Chains A and B, each alone.
Chain A
């Protein structure tokens, strides 16, 4: 079991890491976002009907129907704040993983595992959100699509914590720092 001392170490280390990640975030996003949106659009191009996601001139996400070689804009745009909420795990997860009180080699190993998972999660969440909203334009009362949209909308906040729990739970439960 982790002691209050290790808990304190975790908190004290998280704060500077969080500050660094928050600073880097504004440099990462302009490079990272087009890659994520392209990947999400590629995934959606394999679906029926094919959809895509891009950004408008204000940087808001915008969804399109792409069937028949043309692009028709769906009547859905997401505010810039929604986008930042989705990408929240870019700040949160590396800070949490690197602050976890286990040997540094393991922290970096977990970080290396978590980065591709963040990317996959963002692609899945953005694909999910577009498909759920498309589904709701067809049937606004579809409960499953409403729940799906809600989960995708909040995934940015919940996913960072959920993934960190998955990656480090073994160490918390095992209770032996670095062992296991």
Chain B
């Protein structure tokens, strides 16, 4: 009968607070920023509903004109041969920006990298949102029967995914964690 080697002593279990405490801490920062952004939108409605929505409509309208779709933009309304859209606050990139900003700010890395993430990431999120609106306008004209499903389900989910991807790309390149 072979003699069994004595088992090495079990590694001491990390306390729960050490294992998960920091995750909870950063997650609370993340959720706090998200909640704060939602509260700002509610407390100062014109910020997103008027100014940001009008700006989004203007940029999207210009992109559509570049594609040769013509038409006009009047406040938050885009009218052309493909679609007749009213840009409401949920059509803007405000909430994807909120998710991205919260994720960048909550990630434990140097402030310089966070600033870089904000400066590069937010315009990228906005650009993808404009692309989403242009695609929706095209779908509205060419596939009207599936427009609602694509608008409310796929495009919203896709926009959140794109936001997460932009964050992950930032983490991969610039998010050097403070905690190894």
Contact = CB atoms under 8 A, between A and B. Distances in A.
Asked if A pairs with B, the answer is yes
B34 interface: yes
A175 B177 contact: yes
A138 interface: no
> Interface SS of chain A: helix, strand, loop or mixed?
helix
Interface residues of B, number: 46
Given A4-B173, A172-B171, A84 B153 contact: yes
Contacts, number: 114
Given A169-B27, A173-B108, A158 B177 contact: no
B77 interface: no
Nearest to A81: B152
A150 interface: yes
Interface string B30-47: 110011001101110000
> Interface SS of chain B: helix, strand, loop or mixed?
helix
Interface stretch (A70-78, A102-110, A159-167): A159-167
Contacts of A154: 38, 90, 95
A4 B172 contact: yes
B23 A169 contact: yes
Interface residues of A, number: 40
Max chain B Cβ within 10 angstroms of own Cβ: one of A6, A14, A147, A172: A172
A1 interface: yes
Interface of A: 1-4, 6-7, 10-11, 14, 18, 22, 25, 81, 84-85, 88, 91-92, 95-96, 143, 146-147, 150-151, 154, 157-158, 160-162, 164-166, 169-170, 172-175
